[in-house]
Structure 1
């Protein structure tokens, strides 16, 4: 279960959309979350990886080495 408070303007827009389409506000809130969740996960994963690289806890691999390892060289 999840309860969120939205600014009045967003709540109004959500209500208008739900009324105009015959769907629930919950439907549209769920859709918005699902559409953006993967992007958020990717962003936070990339930020965490960058912090590890900068601190020296993780090393990088050059594109040249990756291509060679997987036989993708020209």
Structure 2
């Protein structure tokens, strides 16, 4: 269970959207959180991979291609 405090403006927008579409506020809040979590997880994964690359921990493309059987 999670309780979230929203500004009056955001709450009003959420209520209006729910009323206009016949969906619940919970439906839209859950969808928004899930979408944003996906974006955040992608961002932090990319950040980790960039750090690995800069630190020299990245796998060279040629080695990866060989490992996957994609050699030309």
Please give the TM-score of this superposition, normalised by the length of structure 2. 0.75
2-side partners of 1:53 and 1:64: how far apart? Answer: 15
User: What does residue range 1-74 of structure 1 map to in structure 2 within 5 Å?
Assistant: 1-54=1-54, 56=55, 59-74=57-72
Is the Cα–Cα contact under 8 Å of residues 52 and 58 in structure 2 kept in the other structure?
A: no
Q: Could you state the TM-score of these two structures normalised by the residue count of structure 1?
A: 0.73
Unaligned runs of 5+ in 1: none
Which shows bigger deviation, 22-31 or 45-54?
45-54
Aligned residue pairs, count: 72
- Aligned-residue offset at 1:19: 1.0
What is the CA–CA distance in structure 2 between the aligned matches of 1:35 and 1:66, rounded to whole Å?
A: 31
Indicate the RMSD between aligned Cα atoms, in angstroms: 2.0
CA distance in 1, matches of 2:8, 2:2: 18
- Where structure 2 has 5 or more consecutive residues not aligned to the other structure, the ranges are none
